[in-house]
Amino acid sequence: MWWETLVAAIGGVVALILFLAPMKAVLRARQDRVLGDLNPLPFPALTANCAGWVAYSYITDDVLVLWPNMCGYLLALFYTFSCYGLADAKTRDRQAAILLLFSAVLMVVGAVGTLGDMEYDSLKRLWGFTSNAILIIFYASPLSTCLEVLRTRCSASLNLPLSVMNVINGTLWVIYGIAIKDLFLAVPNGIGAVLGLVYCALLLTFPRKSSAKRSPSTSDIDTMSSSRRELMGTTGSMEQDQPGADGLAKEPGAAAAAAAAVSARATGVISEAV
């Protein structure tokens, strides 16, 4: 029916918007060279999720499932690699472990499906259950931060655009899955829509607190260097103009005031940078 195709097409567009939702935060992290509140762990799961659905769409010959997940796979790889270089060692290890685990699962499932000489229905069930499991893990990946949100009463670690898109995307694919009688599409996306509502509720209940920090810019570094040189120059001039202990004792107040002024200037620049 025409409306089934329409719903799936809209779902594909919404899915693409969902995949693009973290782009702004990732680009900002790349620019600032710091992750900040960005949680990079869902991105490897997103990569595996899209790969699983690409394989499922090959089996079912469903281009409406294929094209958004191909785009999502490439975007997820970009997000994963961008955040990997900015994360600490523990987070990088977890990212690598997630990506390697899912890659191994997909290769094993692909080998079973190919070498096992399975029929269409068996292949569909195999990739359907695999894609379902990965999709549910992807939808549930922000759960790792929910306890922190409840503890700190701050939702900075949750992504509002991503949560809203989860609700819309899941609802549309539930409708499409029911329409074509494909529970492999309907069930996990229904779970994803419910989890998205939970994340949105947390975001509304515990608003994001401002905790933005930036790295010192080039101008800040230049100003600090200038202040340091000025401080050293002041000390040097003091030593040249007052070589003796008696001379230094004559004007201690002026020398101390000059050094304190330069030091305060440098401290102010550092405070602004932090």
Sorted by sequence, the CB contacts under 8 Å of residue 233 that are 6+ apart come out as none
Q: What is the mean pLDDT of residues 65-88?
A: 94
Final residue belonging to a domain, choices 205, 235, 262 = 205
Secondary structure (3-state) at 148: helix
How far from the centroid of its chain's Cα atoms is residue 150's Cα?
20
Q: Which amino acid is at 98?
A: I
In a shared domain, residues 233 and 137:
no
CA distance 82 to 102: 19
Residues 11-51: tens digit of each pLDDT: 899 889 888 988 999 999 999 999 987 888 889 988 999 99
In a shared domain, residues 41 and 172:
yes
Q: What is the mean pLDDT of residues 162-174?
A: 85
Q: Identify the H or E element spanning 200.
A: helix 183-205
In a shared domain, residues 192 and 226:
no
CA distance 170 to 132: 13
Q: What is the mean pLDDT of residues 211-238?
A: 49
Q: Please report how many Cα atoms fall inside a 13 Å half-sphere around the Cα of residue 192, on the Cβ side.
A: 32
In a shared domain, residues 93 and 187:
yes
In a shared domain, residues 128 and 226:
no
Domain assignment of residue 248, given as a range: 218-273
Min mean pLDDT across 82-91, 95-104, 194-203, 236-245 is at 236-245
Range among 104-108, 142-146, 173-177, 252-256 with highest mean pLDDT value: 104-108
Give the pLDDT band of residue 96 (cuts 50, 70, 90).
very high
Sorted by sequence, the CB contacts under 8 Å of residue 26 that are 6+ apart come out as 38, 78, 79, 82, 83
Six-digit token string for 102: 């899912």
Sorted by sequence, the CB contacts under 8 Å of residue 132 that are 6+ apart come out as 184, 187, 188
pLDDT of residue 78 exceeding 90, the answer is yes
- Structural domains in the chain (count): 2
Question: What's the pLDDT at 274?
Answer: 44
In a shared domain, residues 167 and 250:
no
Which candidate, 31, 270, 26, places its Cα nearest to that of 161?
Answer: 26
In a shared domain, residues 40 and 172:
yes
Final residue belonging to a domain, choices 178, 205, 232 = 205
In a shared domain, residues 78 and 128:
yes
CA distances (Å), origin 113, targets 30, 80, 131, 184: 39, 28, 14, 17
CA distance 123 to 129: 10
In a shared domain, residues 195 and 245:
no
Which one has a higher pLDDT value, 230 or 205?
A: 205
In a shared domain, residues 197 and 240:
no
Which candidate, 157, 29, 16, places its Cα nearest to that of 73?
Answer: 16
The reply to whether 213 falls in a domain is no
In this structure, what DSSP letter does residue 155 have?
-
Question: What's the pLDDT at 114?
Answer: 86
Q: What is the mean pLDDT of residues 230-234?
A: 51
Average pLDDT, the chain: 79
Residues 143-167: tens digit of each pLDDT: 767 878 888 888 877 777 778 877 8
Question: What's the pLDDT at 30?
Answer: 94
In a shared domain, residues 228 and 201:
no
The reply to whether 98 falls in a domain is yes
In a shared domain, residues 97 and 16:
yes
CA distance 74 to 69: 9
The reply to whether 212 falls in a domain is no
Final residue belonging to a domain, choices 180, 205, 230 = 205
Which one has a higher pLDDT value, 83 or 233?
A: 83
The reply to whether 249 falls in a domain is yes
Single pTM value for the model: 0.67
The reply to whether 90 falls in a domain is yes
pLDDT of residue 270 exceeding 60, the answer is no
